[in-house]
Structure 1
Amino acid sequence: MKKKLISLFILLIVVIFLSTMAYLKNESSSLHKTSNFSERSINIHEKELTQDQIEEITIAGIGDILIHDRVYNDAREGDTFNFDKMFQNVTPELNKPTILLANQETIVAGESIGLSGYPSFNSPHEVADSVKAAGIDIVTTANNHSLDRGVDAQKQSISYLDSISLPHVGTYTSHDAQKQVTTLSSGGIKVAFLSYTYGLNGIPIPEGKDYIVNIIDEQKIKEEISRAKKEADVIVMGIHWGSEYERYPSASQKKLAQMLVNEGVDIIFGSHPHVLQPMEWLEGKDGNKGLVVYSLGNFLSGQDEEYRDIGGMVSVRVQKTTNQNGQAITLLEPTFYPTFVSSEAERNYIMHPLKDSEAAIEKYDSSIYEKITNHMLQYIK
């Protein structure tokens, strides 16, 4: 009996010993797995930090929306106006960019103050309606016709743009509004828009109302660029400059463009010459790259003199790369889509893709598309 008790006691000790060893082994294994999981988590986190995150949008610009009286008379339908038909052939292309800018050369204060054409323009409200419906996302309003009908008319124009939620930049109703940086965001990329003009056809800005329109002043521009850098990833400048009907940029345009890129502007869309001027890459003082389109010409107008009825859209891909080193903006592959405005005896104004326009071929020649494309891209390397 005593031997049996001893045997049972020894067996119990063995069982307890083995159970204890098994428990310790499991604990060790569990701790080891936890350690491996932590290491794996750290590795994944490091991978997320080092892997490039790339976001991309397309920014585009078109030229002057310059509504002569013959253009709005053609758009009249009873007691209203319809400009949609003038845009319809190019609207599909206008809707391809992520953000599209146009120069709204004429104010859109409407019929209440009286419509007018050259030299003191005021257009129907419906111009802005059609501009927005065609796919244009923002308009520049600082140009030599900004005060054609005075400060109050400009404010009425701004009020209408606001009422239809069409963003605008370059003219303002107060100093506070002027100090705000105009931005649009898409695809994780925030874009700031600036707009300035060389002058106002000799029309003076009333005392105390210098907020009404941005006049080119290098120090003022540098200050706004500095504010824009703090708020946006990309800076786009719409600038009214140069000489009318000149197909190449002046020395002063080139000098100002270089200053803008040096200060950090990424894309410059020029207007005022009413004809196309080439685009080119510029390198800034910090090694940054900027694209300048010296003039986008007329997009819709009543001018039919040589080359004034040809315009187009310049588009550029914009990539934002984010990684552990910060963020970087890259501009890629600018493209040009030329357009032509046809008309018949100051009626039937309509825009066409230049490539498919029989009217353009008849007016110019069969190689007009290639000539215009080469003209715009001749500086691009």
Structure 2
Amino acid sequence: MTFAGDIMAHSVNFTMKDYNRIYSDVGTFLHSDDLTFGNLETPITDILPCSTYPRFNVHHSYLHAAIDGGFDVFSLANNHSNDQDNAGIYGTLNAINSLPSYIYANGLRIKVEDSITPVVIKKKGWTIVFLAITEILNSHDPSAQLVYYSPPTTSGRNALIQRIEEITAEYPNAFFVLALHTNEPEYVRTVSNSKREWCIRLAHSGVDVVWAHHPHVMQSWEVCEVAGKNRLFMYSMGNFISGQRYTANIENPEADREYTGDAVLLRVQVEKAPNTGTLDTFVVTPIPITNYRDPDHGMVVKLHTDTFIESLPKKLRNYYYKRLELMEEYLPILP
């Protein structure tokens, strides 16, 4: 499996002539796994114009390019889920429901009375339970009731724990992946103790992987033993693609905003212990990526390698080398 960050859609992204260019450099890698997970941080409806922050919207072609680029599983629960009210939510659900059965998504519901329900993925003898939850919404109008929203309060979190325990009881041998759009400040690269404690509590309730997002910058990840099993916590996967670093700050690559353009793809191999069926090990391999403003095609995702950097003009070479160095300083990128 591969886990990525936020698939954003600022104006510089959705005005591109060819969305497939976004994925040209990473598509082969994304297609080489069993499942690739991405957080789709925009509604999808063709009946409304594409729009940028603060109320996003894209058309079907933007989603199709992500799928062609290698994404198989989408989290739809985030603070922009209901940017376009009911029209955006129903449009997104219609777009997802029109896709082949091997594409999966979670985080929205058709009716208010529908319970929070995971999608179940069958892959190579595995049963994967995937649930997408957001702890933050930008709008609490009636359309918010169609989003898988869990209030970040004591009662709200207790209710989520109870629902996860119910799901775990229903699928006792499944591998549980939780997409969590966290209630925390954006652009913060450190992991709070309260966030770690919340992830541990989620693991005790049955979650094997917490795949978190919202800060738009990378935070670290770790494998922890909880209740006799290894669990993977990805505290924030940053941005996969966005327009937040459309103009690179060449003079000050250490500026906080520059971190919105760098992330990793986290390739995760899960191995079961022989005979027992319990989880034994996670093999986690980070692949650095970066957003690059291609002069011919617009914002694209590049593998953040020496080969890519050496292809650039000198000023950009220095910038991207420094960006990679800064990412390596606080993330476990190197072996």
Both proteins in one fold, TM over 0.5: yes
Q: Write the distance in 2 (CA, Å) between the matches of 1:268 and 1:365.
A: 30
Letter in 1 for 2:232: L
Which residue is 1:252 aligned to? 194
d(CA) in 2 for partners of 1:161 and 1:167?
8
1:167 aligns with 2:104: yes
Does the C-alpha gap of structure 1 residues 309 and 264 become closer, same or farther in structure 2, counting only changes over 3 Å? Answer: same
For residue 273 of structure 1, the aligned residue among 206, 215, 221 is 215
Q: 1:161 to 1:87 in 2, by over 3 A?
A: same
Alignment correspondent of 1:65:
7
Aligned to 1:235: 176
**Superposition pairs of residues 1-381 of structure 1, within 5 angstroms:** 59-75=1-17, 82-110=18-46, 112-165=47-100, 166-174=103-111, 178-201=115-138, 203-206=139-142, 210-216=145-151, 217-229=156-168, 230-231=170-171, 232-241=173-182, 242-284=184-226, 286-304=227-245, 305-321=257-273, 323=275, 326-343=276-293, 348-355=298-305, 356-358=307-309, 362=317, 364-366=319-321, 368-373=323-328, 375-377=330-332
Query: In structure 1, what is the Cα distance between the partners aligned to 2:117 and 2:233?
Result: 24
Give the structure 2 partner of residue 50 of structure 1: none
d(CA) in 2 for partners of 1:218, 1:259:
10
Bigger CA radius of gyration: 1
Q: Deviation of residue 137 (structure 1)?
A: 1.0
Contact 1:340 1:357 in 2 (8 A): no
Determine if contact 1:114/1:122 at 8 Å carries over to the other structure. Answer: yes
Give CA deviations for 1:24-79 in whole Å, capped at 9, x if unaligned: xxxxxxxxxxxxxxxxxxxxxxxxxxxxxxxxxxx22100001001211123xxxx
In 2, Cα distance between equivalents of 1:140 and 1:259: 21
TM-superposed deviation, 1:125: 1.1
Alpha-carbon distance change, 373 to 234 in structure 1, aligned in 2, over 3 angstroms: farther
Aligned-pair CA distance for 1:190: 0.7
CA–CA distance in 1 between the matches of 2:296 and 2:179?
A: 30
3-state SS of paired residue (2:198): helix
Displacement after TM superposition at 1:365 (Å):
5.0
Partners in 2 of 1:243 and 1:164 — Cα distance? 34
Name the TM-score, length of structure 2 as normaliser: 0.84
Cα gap change, 1:120 to 1:235, in 2 (>3 Å): same
Q: Distance in 1 between matches of 2:302 and 2:188?
A: 23
User: Cα deviation per residue 1:245-275 (whole Å; 9 max; x = unaligned)?
Assistant: 1111223322211211122211111111111
Does the 8 A contact of 1:270 with 1:296 survive in 2? yes
Give structure 2 stretches of 5+ with no counterpart.
Answer: 246-256
In structure 2, do the counterparts of structure 1 residues 246 and 357 end up closer, same or farther at CA, with 3 Å as the change threshold?
farther
For 1:150 and 1:363, the matched residues in 2 are separated by: 44
8 Å contact from structure 1 (residues 261, 282) kept in 2:
no
Residues 71 and 346, structure 1, Cα contact 8 Å, conserved in 2? no
In structure 1, the residue matched to 2:252 is none
* Greater alpha carbon shift after TM alignment, 326-335 vs 145-154: 326-335
**Relative to 1, partners in 2 of residues 1:366 and 1:211: Cα closer, same or farther, differing over 3 Å?**
closer
TM-score, normalization by structure 1:
0.75
| Count of paired positions | 310
CA distance in 2, matches of 1:361, 1:287: 47
Distance in 2 separating the partners of 1:333 and 1:373: 19
Amino acid at match of 1:288: K
Deviation per CA, 1:218-243: give whole Å up to 9, x if none.
22322332233232521111111132
Q: Which has the higher helix share?
A: 1
SS in 1 for 2:54: coil
Q: Which letter does structure 1 place at the counterpart of 2:210?
A: I
Counterpart contact for 1:178–1:211, Cα < 8 Å = no
Structure 2: how far apart are the matches of 1:309 and 1:62? 13
Instruction: Look up the SS of the partner of 1:366 in the other structure.
Output: helix
Which sits farther off after the overlay, 224-233 or 114-123? Answer: 224-233
1:362 CA drift (Å): 2.6
Q: How far has the Cα of 1:292 moved from its partner?
A: 0.7
3-state DSSP class of the match of 1:265?
A: coil
Report the Cα offset of residue 298 of structure 1.
0.6
Taking the aligned partners of 1:129 and 1:100, their CA distance within structure 2 comes to 14
What's the Cα RMSD here? 2.5
In structure 2, distance between residues paired with 1:100 and 1:125: 19
